[in-house]
Structure 1
Amino acid sequence: MIAHLQRASNTAGLLAYLYGPGERGDQSNPRLVGGDCHGAPVDLLTYSDNLPYLAHALDAPVERLGTGASARPVWVCSVRSDPRQRDLSDAQWADVARRVVGVTVAPGGDPDACRWIALRNQPRQVHIVATLAREDGSLHNAYRDAFHLQTECRRIAAELGHLPASPTLTLPLPEKSMPRTVTIAAEPSGAVVARGGDSLAESLLTHAGFAYANGWHGPRHRLPTSMGREEQAAVASHAAQMLRAARYTVELDPVLDTAPGDPQSLGGQLLAVTDRIRGAESGAELADALAPLLHAEHGVVERVREALEAAGEQITDLDDEAYQLADRFGFASEFLTAAQDELLGADEELRRVAVPAHEQAAARSAAVHDARSAALATSPAATQAPAVRSHSSPAPGEAPAAGPARNSAPRTR
């Protein structure tokens, strides 16, 4: 039992697609199997001619929110069963839909839960459409929905007997002759020596550039003293990375550890971003530090989401039977999509965090001054007043205005 979660912006358009033939023409006999629109007669609105009214019944809480609603308020969950198992009846799929919404958008006993419907148009699957505006005027928090969906779908599949029996794994016995800890240290003589590990660790050390030696100090791997310290550190760090990837515990001398500060590695670049985040002294600096992560199109979060989604698709292309593993990557990608939705607009809010009071006052003063200047600039009286004063002449019979008399004599006290 696999669930695929998506978000949409147009309820009417989505319903028209679900009730139509589909992109491949494989959708037929669309029918409603369940739903709860808080009193709206959805059973009478599911004919193709009444789809706009059905969309309106789902969208009513969203329309009440107005501009406070999400840009993508439609929650779409497609649940499908194992193609190797028999199909479920409409009543069984309706129960699946109720259990799915019960752990996500419409928990049992919640009078203000989101409105939803469940419909079928293909064998072995059901589509659940909900709007994320609740009856009390709040928005449903969809952050953990993918996790809850995966857990509930596995529970349903187990109850239906669709989960295959877990194979018995035969693990190889660990080698007890050598420890699983490898120590790489720089010695006073200038050599770099690695001790510990088993045959696999020895192979990894040799591949990294260490040479095996068995002398007075026992078996070990070492780097020659003729190698420069920077090159020794690079080789030792590379060997430590390979050993850790093979699940060895590596005690690496700090003077040889170059991985944390390596600006060329992706991990090193993200560590530099983390340092900028921790060193931010204002909301604006924090927003600038987070920009490489949260950019909607080119940010790290978006690139990781795309990579996970591509990995799931590639797994499906390589092996159709590995759809459960592919869907795990799909769920991980959807977690990041939910995180992106949660942080939408955070950049502008961050720039208002920790703004000093005097800067806020200066900004308000500048705004008031700009508004006053704009009002004067657009006032007809303000534009005509100088011309009236410069070109006006006294009316007939009226004496010109006399200014104060000027005395050129020096002042006396």
Structure 2
Amino acid sequence: MPKDGLTEHTIVAYWPALDSYTLDDEQATWSAVQWADHLEDPLFENPFAASPRGDRQAISHLNVRLHPDDRDLSGAEWAEIAHRLARAAGIEVPGDANSCRWIAVQAKPGRLDLVANLIRLDGTWQHPPVDLGRRLNDEARRIEQDLHLIPVATSAGPGSTRSLPTASAQLAGLLTQLADEQSGPLATVRGLIEHTAHRLAHQAGTAGSDTARRLELIATRLHHVQEDLDATAGRLAAPPRLRTAPAPAPPATHRRRNASLPSADRFLTVQRDPHSAEVLARGGGSEAHSILERVGFVPVVRLHETFHRAPTGLAPDTETRLATEAVARLRAASYYVACDEEFATDRRPARYPTLGSSVAHLAVRLREATTTEDAADVLTELTAPYDGVLAAIEQVLYAAADFHDGLGAAAGPYTARRLRHLADEHLHVLRTDLIHTRNALADRHAPHPRRRACAQEVPAEERERSAVCACPPPPRTAPVPPPPAVVAGLRR
């Protein structure tokens, strides 16, 4: 045993699933470095996990100290204190197989240090309760009573009594119980609604689908109520602060969050079909379909709907990883996703601009073009013979044809010939027409008659003297005095 090693009596408690992570013939005593590596493993195993603040400070430390005049506690009593405080802090959840890693270290007499990694075994971040301080304080007071320890004095004077919780603290506790995601009544009702919607979505007929979608909207509104209650409980539990000026009004986007429900295209389901055991994704619009196909899903076009499925021939664990990634990316794009429990995740991967969005910006430039030269410049980006968009598409088609030539499949040569036909015939016709259009615009040298910059001026010889331009006036930062009267020329 190294001199800096921690003996087995120093670690008084640890997370319940640790025994399943150690081998039978593994050494029973770890060094301090081994314990540190064990706690830091989730940081390396889940490189994309991050806290709600966006950082990766996953190590949480909680220390407990006894009163100097307290009696010496046994190892079992220290272990009981560690487990009770871990449950109060939300680090250890009874019955949760994916809870956090944590250990309780007693390096000095009368002191206990609880160290935990907030990244759970499933790769998600463990969110601490809103009223964490109150929970730990209440549990510490109960431990004092159960183990007959010296209570903490609430004031400097002798014989002082503990202050009763305020009305705000009591209301905060009640709202926290209502909004609790694990055992709160609102979470239970929302789960029943989502389960009913899931059952109705798989029934034949459009009536079941419409009802399922309405139930999903109700479940979403109920989730917003839970979030509002949780935030209100946090504000009630916070100590009051003196204000020297009235608080500014929240931004309009926050005030209007619940003003209207999101459109139906913002709702999706990613679930395993109970009959075929396929992983299917339904709902959403073109943006959601793009996200699903970039993850790896395959589109299925039917007469009345378009849905996505996982590729055939995948192992169940691979399908689960694929569906979990789809749920994470869809929720990162602010979609409301109802999914099976095995696909649920709190990870929100970063989003980056795609190549298609860069090309789509050309359409924005065309809509803002005011002259034929501007439009010709935009079309040149498509038709440029060396590095234009169409030239790049031609290279991609030829590369895909070469790939199918050496693939070895029976349909490979036919697919390769089809791809080359698309590049030589269809793409050639498209590029020829666009080049002709681009050249005609480049030779015209004229402004667009409906996209000219309006000066809001009317000629002085206008017979209808009250005639004014119908365009809206440009924004002005300060009043402008009227121009002097003139006999000829342009007037406002």
Per the normalisation by structure 1, the TM-score is: 0.36
- Point out which structure has higher relative CO (alpha carbons under 8 A, 6+ apart): 1
Structure number, greater radius of gyration: 1
Per the normalisation by structure 2, the TM-score is: 0.31
